Amino acid sequence: MHCKHASPAPTLLTTTLLTTTHRKTLLTLMNNAPSALPDSDVETLAQRLATDPEALQLIDVREPHELEVASVEHFVNLPLSQFPAWSGAIQTQFDADAETIVMCHLGMRSAQMCQWLIAQGFTNVKNLTGGIDAYSRKIDPTVPLY
């Protein structure tokens, strides 16, 4: 397992449609979260998807228009801009102890989500290094780059 040092990037959150209260909650949680996040590389993800995808919880935090361009099978879409709509059900939708891999375009938004999940009590969260961009470049060139 590798650790990636990630610091929250509030500018990404300020461009979403979050309410002020939700934005403050996310920023507070991320600023108080550990700076080192466990990560997973795309090669490991591809191997796991090929052998036992049901053993993973896969979350894609990109926006719907990004999914229209490129996606990877088995990921559940939870766009950060829709945080108020799905955040309250996170504990019932996902198992806090199961291995959870979070993906975005390049890895910044997914790092934010990982920090938030950890703050919610998730114990086995990993950020997908390089996001879907790395997956396309290294694993599946049929996944469009954008």
Question: Where in the chain are the domains?
Answer: 10-138
Q: Which residues are catalytic?
A: 104
Strands (E), the chain: 2-5, 36-40, 57-60, 76-77, 100-103, 125-128
For residue 85, give every residue at least 6 positions away whose Cβ sits within 8 Å of its Cβ, in sequence order, or none.
none
> 3-class DSSP state for residue 48?
helix
Is the per-residue pLDDT at 7 higher than 60? Answer: no
Which of 17-41 are b and which e, b meaning 16 or more Cβ less than 10 Å from the residue's Cβ?
ebeeeebebbbebbeebeeebbbbb
CA distance 117 to 90: 9
Q: Report pLDDT digits (tens) over 58-72.
A: 999 999 999 999 999
For residue 95, give every residue at least 6 positions away whose Cβ sits within 8 Å of its Cβ, in sequence order, or none.
57
- Write down the pLDDT at residue 96: 98
Mean pLDDT of the chain: 85
CATH of domain 10-138: 3.40.250.10
- Write down the pLDDT at residue 36: 81
pTM for this model (two decimals): 0.78
3-state secondary structure string, 9-28?
CHHHHHCCCCCHHHHHHHHH
